[in-house]
Amino acid sequence: MDVTILGSGSPIPDAERAGPSGLVRAGGASVLIDAGRGVLMRLAAAGWSVPQLDAVLLTHLHSDHTTDVNDVITTFWVMPMTLGRTLRIIGPPGTQTYVDRSLDLLATDIGYRIDHHDDLTEGPSIEVTEVTDGVCFEAGGLRIVAGLVDHGVVKPAIGYRFEADDSIGGGVACWSGDTVPCDGLDALAAGADVYVQTVLNRDLVSAVPIQRFLDTMDYHSDIDQAAQTAARAGVRTFVINHPVPAPLPGTEGAWVDQAAQHFDGEILFATDLLTVATG
């Protein structure tokens, strides 16, 4: 099973980091996690395309994680090889309403395309599954388990556990979404080969005297907390992802060194298109 960081960015635009998103490929299945800005450009750079996706998973409905859901919907719908197919979107309660509103946003474009192309006779077909916990996807030897995490006022927020069966090489990965330490996160990450966690640098954030920025400390794991979760869960590889704020080039090592005070396994600092195998 391969876990690819498509976008490692945060809400602040960054020339080097697309918005939060990931791709998990295992056996015959592939799923997209979140759809931050630029996700389809990064998906193409990873050598993958929307028609190859079996599902789209949303961790929560913060805008930086959902900005390009409309692009995913439109691109899936207009590609000839997806004609007659349904796009599957899985996310927390509220996802159906979000998708319905996205389709309202796209209504003018949908009308233009139906008027212009004879083979497009109706709008996008989307199947939404709202989840909080439990198995939410099974295909091609890949099993995905959702679980509630704690993202403060953003309720509900969920993380995902990916389990590949032995027929496709085995392996377990956890994608935390945005969260502070909590029992739900511990359960999702337990024994994972790859653990991808949004991480906030408390020292850097605290140095900026803007309350709206300081508020981000309320609902993101900081470096120490994320590393402690990794250690508690007994993971193999801890990926520092979605850094808040994005570090200046050349300073990433300081984040890794701080995490290493709590976790003695492999620690990677995410960049766009970083791919980590569970095997």
- What is the CATH classification number for the domain harbouring 214? 3.60.15.10
How far apart CA 166 and CA 63 sit, in angstroms, is 37
Catalytic residue among 64, 68, 193, 272: 64
Over residues 215-237, the mean pLDDT reads: 97
Over residues 219-239, the mean pLDDT reads: 98
How far apart CA 3 and CA 144 sit, in angstroms, is 13
Mean pLDDT rounded to a whole number for the chain: 97
* pLDDT for residue 42: 98
**Beta carbons of 188 and 145 less than 8 angstroms apart:** yes
Domain that holds residue 194: 2-277
CA 125 to chain centre: 22
Q: Is the pLDDT of residue 34 over 90?
A: yes
Closest CA to 181 of 146, 223, 237: 223
Closest CA to 73 of 101, 102, 48, 45: 102
Known catalytic residue at 64: yes
Over residues 72-90, the mean pLDDT reads: 96
Q: Is the pLDDT of residue 56 over 90?
A: yes
**Beta carbons of 238 and 230 less than 8 angstroms apart:** yes
Angle between helical axes of 223-233 and 252-259 (0-180°, round to 10): 50
**Beta carbons of 170 and 194 less than 8 angstroms apart:** no
Q: Where are the beta strands (DSSP E) in the chain?
A: 2-7, 21-26, 29-33, 55-57, 87-91, 126-130, 134-139, 142-151, 154-164, 172-175, 194-200, 237-244, 266-269, 275-277
CA angle 235, 237, 241 (to 5 degrees): 110
* pLDDT for residue 279: 87
Label each residue of 109-129 as H, E or C. HHHHHHHHCCCCCCCCCEEEE
* pLDDT for residue 271: 98
Q: Tell me the per-residue pLDDT of 118-176, one tens digit each, with 9 for 90 and over.
A: 999 999 999 999 999 999 999 999 999 999 999 999 999 999 999 999 999 999 999 99
Closest CA to 8 of 273, 251, 279, 235: 273
The domain total for the chain is 1
* pLDDT for residue 3: 98
Between strands 29-33 and 21-26, the pairing is antiparallel
